[in-house]
Structure 1
Amino acid sequence: MSATEKNPTTKNPATDPVYVTDALIAQDIDAYLTAHQHKTMLRFITCGSVDDGKSTLIGRLLYDTKMIFEDQLSALERDSKSVGTQGGGIDFALLVDGLAAEREQGITIDVAYRFFATEKRKFIVADTPGHEQYTRNMVTGASTADLAVILIDARQGVLTQTRRHSYLVNLLGIRNIVLAINKMDLVGYSQDRFDEIVQDYTTFARQIGMESFLPVPISGLQGDNIASRSNAMPWYQGPTLLGHLEEAPVNTSRMLDLPFRMPVQWVNRPNLDFRGFAGQIGAGRVAPGDAIRVLPSGRTTHVKSIVTFDGDLPEAQAGQSVTLTFADEVDCSRGDVIVAADSPCEVADQFEATLVWMEEAEMLPGRPYLLKIGTQVVTATVTEPKYEVNVNTLEHLASKTLGLNAIGVVNISTDRAIPFEAYAENPDLGGFILIDRMTNATVAAGMIHFALRRSQNIHWQAVDINREAHAAQKAQKPAVVWFTGLSGSGKSTIANLVEKKLHAMGRHTFLLDGDNVRHGLNRDLGFTDADRVENIRRVGEVARLMTDAGLIVLTAFISPFRAERRMVRDVMAEGEFLEVHVDTPLDVAEARDVKGLYKKARAGQLKNFTGIDSPYEAPEAPEITVDTVSLSPEEAADRVIAALLAR
């Protein structure tokens, strides 16, 4: 008895059309995957001003390359009728603008990624927003692109956002630029208008150092010069947009010609007999026997083998993810960079870089951020900006901070030396992001230019009498007791009592008071948020040096921001930082108003006063909390001393 006779529900491949269709579909899928497996991948973005037609262009590319299913096309035709598309045709932008807010406003807000393919190549395109307030989204989309399509509405010409996006594209190192002059159908396919816009853009491109670009006259709505040449513009003899995309070079090919670089992502240690270092090769090639160097330590060895899931390789190159084993036992961990021994990259802890600020809150010079570069995360601070760039005029403007979407050149200092290369040479080792330590939000994207010369000239000097020797001489454990609270909370009063009691006990102390420090060390600082950050940074460095001398340091500062208090905690040894929250309600502190500061602040005579028009971020987990409403200063001081001596 046949299988069909045993089970009447089993489909017969010879007679059942549904069965045959399913089989053919499976064969088609296999054939499709096989055909596309070895094609190159081009990543590109579309950018430009609002309503230049970016989403429409991408929708047209998807339509012309047959990447829309029949049910999607039916839904698209239905939605296009409901929104009333120009000329009654299909609104291709609806394929890309997926957010409700985008469809309601007719604009792109978020970055939309779409995949499509032709017989020659695979593509991933990022549709980026045109509004200035979403510039950070545009930077995100451009960070991995090989090519940029900058759109211009033929009716509007070169606009502010055209310049801004062009500047960013050039800044991010994208050298393959297509200037797509869109909506040519709305200017009668005029060659004169096309030439006029190309000339205007050429002038700006030269100013920002853009080496070349390909101008293409198109109509995203009508499909002119998108996938096929337009009969309406016989005067244009260049390639179609899709034709150029199929032939454009990708970044991977350029990276093959650079010296070998591989950031270590993971130490692969499945058992005691195997230890390898996994990561994606960022540049160059590597083969067993090659001499390599591990940075930042500088230790050298040779590659023993290149391990993959499918077996060992005789060679690996940029873009491949592999595990390397070494001929010798060399210390190497996540964040290190394996490089060619005879062509290492630089290692430094101070840099000049361009920053694109991506956070609503302004950048605060001196505030510690997390800096992620490659697979490494370090603590970094941004010094006062050298200048901010006016994207419209390309002027260098003096600035003490950077606001949302601002672009500036700054100096950056990291807490330890890191391997890097200039972004223009190697984006993987020259591009970084800054992360807020408290919220984990990405606040900026940056591109390293070069190491500061002073970073190579400054070295740690070895000394014979170290901090342990100083502490032993004084027979005490060094510490920083950090009093924080509102003005008028009683910080200075309690800190002074603590020092008197410790002095009577024979302890070696020093009190750093907020007002006193501003008479000398910090007399140049005001009370803006940026100046408050710098005030605490300096005090933290002084306090750390004093603990190196073996002292117990008491500090009485409002220190309103958690990030700066965290910064001081992080530079101290474990257990040597005690945060004391002098917890006094605002109304109680204001009622005391010993110095008359609250009265001035309420009258508008004192700006940026903590608790009134500047925030105070109370500690979340202080070692000690003293409530000055229920405790006297003497009782509060005794509680602090008990906690200090109990360490």
Structure 2
Amino acid sequence: MTVLDAAIAPAATTLLRFATAGNVDDGKSTLVGRLLHDAKAVLADQYDAVESASRRRGQGSVDLALLTDGLRAEREQGITIDVAYRYFATARRRFVMADTPGHVQYTRNMVTGASTADLVLLLVDARKGVTEQTRRHAAVAALLRVPAVVLAVNKMDLVGYDEATFAAIAADFAALAADLGLADVTSIPVAAIDGDNVARPSAVMDWYAGPTVLDVLESVPVGAEPLDTPMRLPVQYVIDADGQRSYAGQLASGVLHDGERVVVLPSGTVTTVAGIDVLGERSPVCWAPQSVAVRLADDVPVRRGDLIVAAGEAPHLRQEVGLIVCQLHERPLRVSDEVLVRHGTRTIAAVVQDIVPAGPIPELTCAPDADSVAVNQIAGVLVRTAEEIAVDRYAEHRLTGACLLIDPVDGTTRAAGVVT
């Protein structure tokens, strides 16, 4: 291990971002509440409030689902509506959890929660197995190339903790995962209401010798991909201070060294890094996802939205960009619609040229002759931008291969897309 590797490794493995998903009534809120409780991430007053609310409802035990369904509308309707972010930590790792809704009409919200996730915790009911909504959530995880998936087969207590039931569901999902290209899948039998295999091994499912949900969350590798990919620095601010000009932004991927030859896109200007500041201090090197300010050796034109990349590893410049999009807005995205493409720190005008079916699950995409994409649908979209834009394929670059399609009139987000 080099000195750089040693410096990077601890910071890269401290934080895990993960998203939860699952069908309505499969017990996701209970599992998340149990995870927070058993990981000692619930304050005493929070637990007391949930205990009191459970007592008022006449429940004999504490309803841990109340720890997660925080919106008034969610509590009144008994459903999860919006993405809720929870922050907690154990002795081994810090976590940012995006708890996403289970209803079909809120499938689009999973895109928001899973877009930055290192792992998706996907719940199924042991009595129902893999359902259409499970397939939807798995397809979104595959589309966003989430590195790892945990399939939590919940409510095992309601099927008598039957090993054969769990094995059949795990095999069914493994076949689906193979079709979608999900490589890292761990299936775990769970009874969230009692905490079996959530944060502690289950005594009643002694036939299962694998990890608990928390074991996987604490041990799954994270943080390596951005360092192994080519360097990309989207310019967020141009700073003029003390007669010097520097370019600030968050390093999206890779490692950048002082003195390195770089290319500024879309101009294509080649220059050399003359200095790097990290947290206001001079540094010989920086790495993703650090926020940095970079000085260049030559007086070259650089503006917000430009992309600084390593020489010899530049992405393609193009005006026609093929995307696979998930439609987020109720108003369909149509051929000939004018949109803004928000890519990294750059926003550029574009027009939708073509729409085609896309994805391995037919019920998720549009019809072959469709000229629009409806809400929650996944489809292939070709856009033509007003100027050349530097894009990576999402399969090769998860951060710089993604974009949003924005309405130019009211600023609403129409769709989230990945570059194909």
Query: Whose radius of gyration is greater, 1 or 2?
Result: 1
Mapping for residues 143-222 of structure 1, pairs under 5 Å: 143-222=115-194
Opposite residue 67 of structure 1, the aligned amino acid is A
1:206 deviation in Å? 2.2
CA contact (8 A) 1:158 1:200 kept: yes
CA deviation map 1:407-433 (0-9, x unaligned): 101211111111110111112211111
CA deviation map 1:398-457 (0-9, x unaligned): 1211111111012111111111101111122111111111111111000010xxxxxxxx
Opposite residue 262 of structure 1, the aligned amino acid is L
Following the alignment from structure 2 to structure 1, what is the Cα–Cα distance between the partners of residues 270 and 297?
10
TM-score, structure 2 as length reference: 0.94
Q: State the match for 1:244 in structure 2.
A: 216
Q: State the match for 1:461 in structure 2.
A: none
1:385 aligns with 2:355: yes
Opposite residue 107 of structure 1, the aligned amino acid is I
- 1:56 pairs, out of 24, 30, 54, with 30
- 1:138 pairs, out of 106, 110, 114, with 110
Classify the secondary structure of the residue corresponding to 1:78.
Answer: helix
Opposite residue 266 of structure 1, the aligned amino acid is Y
CA deviation map 1:488-526 (0-9, x unaligned): xxxxxxxxxxxxxxxxxxxxxxxxxxxxxxxxxxxxxxx
Q: State the match for 2:307 in structure 1.
A: 337
- 2:235 pairs, out of 235, 260, 264, with 264
More strand by share: 2
The total of aligned residue pairs comes to 410
Following the alignment from structure 2 to structure 1, what is the Cα–Cα distance between the partners of residues 167 and 113?
29
CA contact (8 A) 1:388 1:397 kept: no
Cα pair distance change 1:84/1:409, threshold 3 Å = farther
Cα pair distance change 1:60/1:366, threshold 3 Å = same
Q: State the match for 1:309 in structure 2.
A: 279
Cα pair distance change 1:392/1:63, threshold 3 Å = farther
Classify the secondary structure of the residue corresponding to 2:373.
Answer: coil
CA contact (8 A) 2:354 2:383 kept: no
Following the alignment from structure 1 to structure 2, what is the Cα–Cα distance between the partners of residues 38 and 291?
25
- 2:90 pairs, out of 100, 109, 118, with 118
* CA RMSD, 1 decimal: 1.7
Following the alignment from structure 1 to structure 2, what is the Cα–Cα distance between the partners of residues 220 and 108?
17
Following the alignment from structure 1 to structure 2, what is the Cα–Cα distance between the partners of residues 393 and 78?
43
Q: State the match for 1:605 in structure 2.
A: none
Q: State the match for 2:371 in structure 1.
A: 400
Opposite residue 121 of structure 1, the aligned amino acid is R
TM-score, structure 1 as length reference: 0.62
- 1:429 pairs, out of 385, 400, 403, with 400
Following the alignment from structure 2 to structure 1, what is the Cα–Cα distance between the partners of residues 258 and 98?
38
Q: State the match for 1:368 in structure 2.
A: 338
Classify the secondary structure of the residue corresponding to 2:375.
Answer: coil
CA contact (8 A) 1:163 1:392 kept: no
Following the alignment from structure 1 to structure 2, what is the Cα–Cα distance between the partners of residues 390 and 396?
12
Cα pair distance change 1:375/1:290, threshold 3 Å = same
Cα pair distance change 1:162/1:426, threshold 3 Å = same
CA deviation map 1:517-550 (0-9, x unaligned): xxxxxxxxxxxxxxxxxxxxxxxxxxxxxxxxxx
Opposite residue 24 of structure 2, the aligned amino acid is V
Following the alignment from structure 2 to structure 1, what is the Cα–Cα distance between the partners of residues 389 and 73?
42
1:55 deviation in Å? 1.5
1:44 aligns with 2:15: no
Opposite residue 197 of structure 2, the aligned amino acid is N
Q: State the match for 2:79 in structure 1.
A: 107
Cα pair distance change 1:37/1:259, threshold 3 Å = closer
CA deviation map 1:20-53 (0-9, x unaligned): xxxxxxxxxxxxxxxx999710000110211122
Following the alignment from structure 1 to structure 2, what is the Cα–Cα distance between the partners of residues 359 and 418?
25
Opposite residue 76 of structure 1, the aligned amino acid is V
Opposite residue 134 of structure 1, the aligned amino acid is Y
- 2:254 pairs, out of 284, 289, 293, with 284
CA contact (8 A) 2:157 2:191 kept: yes
1:364 deviation in Å? 2.0
Following the alignment from structure 1 to structure 2, what is the Cα–Cα distance between the partners of residues 163 and 107?
20
Opposite residue 29 of structure 2, the aligned amino acid is S
Cα pair distance change 1:165/1:84, threshold 3 Å = farther
Following the alignment from structure 2 to structure 1, what is the Cα–Cα distance between the partners of residues 398 and 375?
23
CA contact (8 A) 1:154 1:184 kept: yes
1:361 deviation in Å? 1.4
Cα pair distance change 1:360/1:394, threshold 3 Å = closer
CA deviation map 1:439-486 (0-9, x unaligned): 11111000010xxxxxxxxxxxxxxxxxxxxxxxxxxxxxxxxxxxxx
Following the alignment from structure 1 to structure 2, what is the Cα–Cα distance between the partners of residues 115 and 302?
40
CA contact (8 A) 1:292 1:339 kept: yes
- 2:387 pairs, out of 412, 416, 419, with 416
Following the alignment from structure 2 to structure 1, what is the Cα–Cα distance between the partners of residues 185 and 292?
36
Q: State the match for 1:622 in structure 2.
A: none
Q: State the match for 1:440 in structure 2.
A: 411
Opposite residue 337 of structure 1, the aligned amino acid is L
Following the alignment from structure 1 to structure 2, what is the Cα–Cα distance between the partners of residues 39 and 75?
34
1:212 deviation in Å? 3.6
Q: State the match for 2:7 in structure 1.
A: none
CA contact (8 A) 1:39 1:122 kept: no
1:350 deviation in Å? 0.6
Q: State the match for 1:81 in structure 2.
A: 55
Following the alignment from structure 1 to structure 2, what is the Cα–Cα distance between the partners of residues 147 and 66?
21
Following the alignment from structure 1 to structure 2, what is the Cα–Cα distance between the partners of residues 410 and 198?
34
Q: State the match for 2:321 in structure 1.
A: 351
Following the alignment from structure 1 to structure 2, what is the Cα–Cα distance between the partners of residues 324 and 41?
26
1:390 deviation in Å? 7.5
More helix by share: 1
Following the alignment from structure 1 to structure 2, what is the Cα–Cα distance between the partners of residues 44 and 432?
20
CA contact (8 A) 1:110 1:128 kept: yes
Following the alignment from structure 2 to structure 1, what is the Cα–Cα distance between the partners of residues 358 and 331?
16
Cα pair distance change 1:408/1:392, threshold 3 Å = closer
- 1:318 pairs, out of 288, 291, 297, with 288
CA contact (8 A) 1:389 1:396 kept: no
Following the alignment from structure 1 to structure 2, what is the Cα–Cα distance between the partners of residues 430 and 371?
12
Q: State the match for 1:613 in structure 2.
A: none
Following the alignment from structure 1 to structure 2, what is the Cα–Cα distance between the partners of residues 394 and 119?
40
Unaligned 5+ runs, structure 1: 1-35, 450-647
Q: State the match for 1:539 in structure 2.
A: none
Classify the secondary structure of the residue corresponding to 1:397.
Answer: coil
CA contact (8 A) 1:388 1:402 kept: no
Following the alignment from structure 2 to structure 1, what is the Cα–Cα distance between the partners of residues 131 and 12?
40
CA contact (8 A) 1:275 1:325 kept: yes
CA contact (8 A) 1:390 1:396 kept: no
Q: State the match for 2:6 in structure 1.
A: none
CA contact (8 A) 2:324 2:358 kept: no
1:215 deviation in Å? 0.3
